Structure 1
């Protein structure tokens, strides 16, 4: 007799329940960001996200009690993933500043930024959501600033260095906004090149 091949159900049952729960949560978070980026706040309900993630609404509510819980957790989760990926691009720390500037600008021109923007707009009109998004944005902003300082090799003890890095990040956010309606890649590349030069001069 040949070896008995386990059924699909048996294979699933062998996966620890905690791991399945973690995988479900991750699918919900990724689906929430995708829905928010594509449909905005009004079109992104828990039911829509659950369907996209391939789980029941009840399963979604088991992980996230409210809609606000789901979407703030989703944006924070993907921001953390992007931060990890950004660090992985430059594992040896400070690198060519133009490459770093370009990578940091890319953070503000993808679906995460679009999703976060929809969340900010919703928070401006939703009293229940506003304090949570304000706190989230502050945390994400601090982490992005830390990464930028690290990768740019900026010495913030130098006069104006901190403001220079923050000004660059504000510029990157503006480039992300400009890219929402039209493909702004060509102009963005010229701006990135100029800012890399300016940062080289300002940061030493």
Structure 2
């Protein structure tokens, strides 16, 4: 039997996927200004002509990259393992904001602030990812958002995690991050397991 050949459509799909993966990597490593179609094509190991066949312009490439990053981040949420305890849950959520997908998303945010054709798409997809991340955080923590203050506490955790991700862009601050994770885990254990009345609730009469 002769060698099995990859159908043209499959090769085209694989090339497109490589270009999108490379676009994400280049964004994370070089930022918007350093991520041209030529740079992405070289990183993907394809010709510029092949890249432009799939994405005629830089805007086409990175508009598709916005959707790719959003879907990959959604997939990462769906793959999160069930944590053994609150500390592991907090560490898992913080980890979402310290990897290459978050770095790429951050560069897309910066680009979208200056590129109107990306702005609406990035804003809409980030809103979706934000809702999914919050929902997953509630599930991982076993949080009951019907209780006063719990929703705000979960959102505060995610805001803190995003801040740690930003700090990680400049320097590896893993040691400080672990101390912060430990402290937030303690705060959450107290907040999520305290069954007493909130401090501002009316107290029963003697």
Common fold: TM-score over 0.5: yes
Relative to structure 1, the CA distance from residue 22 to residue 162 in structure 2 (aligned partners, 3 Å threshold; closer, same or farther) is farther
Residue in structure 1 matched with residue 200 of structure 2 by the alignment:
none
What is the Cα deviation at residue 86 of structure 1? 4.4
Relative to structure 1, the CA distance from residue 62 to residue 138 in structure 2 (aligned partners, 3 Å threshold; closer, same or farther) is farther
Counterpart CA distance in 1 for 2:75 and 2:93 is 12
The answer to whether the 8 A contact 2:19-2:41 is kept is: yes
Residue in structure 2 matched with residue 165 of structure 1 by the alignment:
154
Give the secondary structure class of the aligned counterpart of 2:151: helix
Deviations 1:116-174 (A, max 9, x none): 21211122122222222212211221221122122111222222222211111110010
What is the Cα deviation at residue 22 of structure 1? 2.5
What is the CA RMSD across the aligned residues, in angstroms?
A: 2.1
Gap runs ≥5 in structure 1: none
User: Where do residues 166-181 of structure 1 align in structure 2 (5 Å cutoff)?
Assistant: 166-181=155-170
Match of residue 42, structure 1, among 9, 21, 33? 33
What is the number of equivalent residue pairs in this alignment? Answer: 193
Match of residue 184, structure 2, among 181, 189, 195? 195
Name the stretch that deviates more: 56-65 or 150-159: 56-65
Give the secondary structure class of the aligned counterpart of 1:180: helix
Give the alignment's TM-score, normalised by structure 2. Answer: 0.82
Relative to structure 1, the CA distance from residue 83 to residue 123 in structure 2 (aligned partners, 3 Å threshold; closer, same or farther) is closer
Residue in structure 1 matched with residue 75 of structure 2 by the alignment:
84
Relative to structure 1, the CA distance from residue 20 to residue 157 in structure 2 (aligned partners, 3 Å threshold; closer, same or farther) is farther
